[in-house]
Amino acid sequence: MPRLSIADVAAPLLCGLIASLAAAGPSAASTPAATPATAASGNQAEIDRSRYEESRPQKEIPFDPADFDKFVGYYRLGDSDNFAHVYRTGNHYFLQLTAQPAAEFFPESPTEFFMTTVAAQVSFEVGPDGRATGMVIHQNGMPHPLHRVSEAEFQAGSAALAKRVKANTPSPGTRSMVIAYIRDLEHGSQDYDTMTPELAAVARPQLAKSVAVMRKEGTFRSLAFVRVLPNGADAYIATFTGGELLWVIMPLTKEGKVSGVFFRPYPP
């Protein structure tokens, strides 16, 4: 069985949530500033505009730390076991995603924040009572909404994830999905209907590059499961006549869709 370290799959901040199909090198995480409708349509001009908005120089505004308390808590990405913990230490504000280190972010408006370690923004949705009901992480031109959950739901989801990581058993459907993607790319195509709209929008413009890297490895021979990663993604090594590719894929959603996947030459 192939050996794989965490360093082998190290990637930008949001890779654990939504990873794009990256044909060469580490995958770039996907995330927002466009609307869900734009994400579904894969409007490249709008995605590019959003990427610019996320990466442009930001200016921190004066902010009362007490006003941040309405955002503090736990948020969940869809029906996955990936969460965000939002908290503050004095007048410093932090976001920690599942299996990733905490990242500090800075206010640019009463409900919007930006990061400096990666081109990403965070916006909070606030209910009539002034308390946050959800948040959206914007990165790589795409929006990723998370809904607020209780600490009990966070603890239960985290426990379920830890149990699956310890069992080291791949999620149902991930193996067959990776094989299907490989077969499609060998023939120069990609089945976007199997992806969430957000992932499909990121994958479409990368098709030619993905096909080129896939074909460079030669004919597909086999796929070996390696391990469940700390964020719940399944890692596989695909062997070809000319080399190997590392594939990382998130568990399928309740609708059977892929929300995150990337591949790259292995070893890098």
What integer pLDDT is reported at residue 81 of this predicted model? 83
DSSP 8-state code for residue 35: -
CATH 3.10.450 fits 6-40+169-266, yes or no: yes
Q: Where are the domains of the chain?
A: 6-40+169-266, 50-158
What integer pLDDT is reported at residue 202 of this predicted model? 77
Residue 167 CB-density burial (10 A; 0-12 exposed, 13-18 middle, 19+ buried): exposed
What integer pLDDT is reported at residue 125 of this predicted model? 95
DSSP 8-state code for residue 6: G
What integer pLDDT is reported at residue 116 of this predicted model? 85
CATH topology assigned to domain 50-158: Lipocalin (2.40.128)
Q: How far is CA 16 from CA 12, 37, 152, 233, in A?
A: 9, 23, 22, 7
Q: What is the pLDDT along the chain (268 residues), one digit of tens a residue?
A: 444 443 344 333 233 333 333 322 333 333 222 223 333 344 667 666 666 566 677 889 999 999 999 999 999 988 888 899 999 999 999 999 888 888 899 999 999 999 888 778 899 999 998 899 999 988 777 778 899 999 999 999 999 999 999 999 999 999 999 999 999 999 999 999 999 887 887 788 888 888 998 999 999 999 999 999 888 889 999 999 999 999 999 899 999 999 888 888 888 7
What integer pLDDT is reported at residue 52 of this predicted model? 55
- Any residues with CB less than 8 A from the CB of 195 and at least 6 apart, and which? 203, 257, 258, 259, 261
DSSP 8-state code for residue 192: G
What integer pLDDT is reported at residue 51 of this predicted model? 67
What integer pLDDT is reported at residue 47 of this predicted model? 66
Residue 160: both structure tokens together = 């379920």
Q: Are strands 112-115 and 120-126 parallel, antiparallel or unpaired?
A: antiparallel
Residue 124 CB-density burial (10 A; 0-12 exposed, 13-18 middle, 19+ buried): buried
Q: Specify whether the CB–CB gap between 232 and 246 falls below 8 A.
A: no
Calculate the average pLDDT of the chain.
81
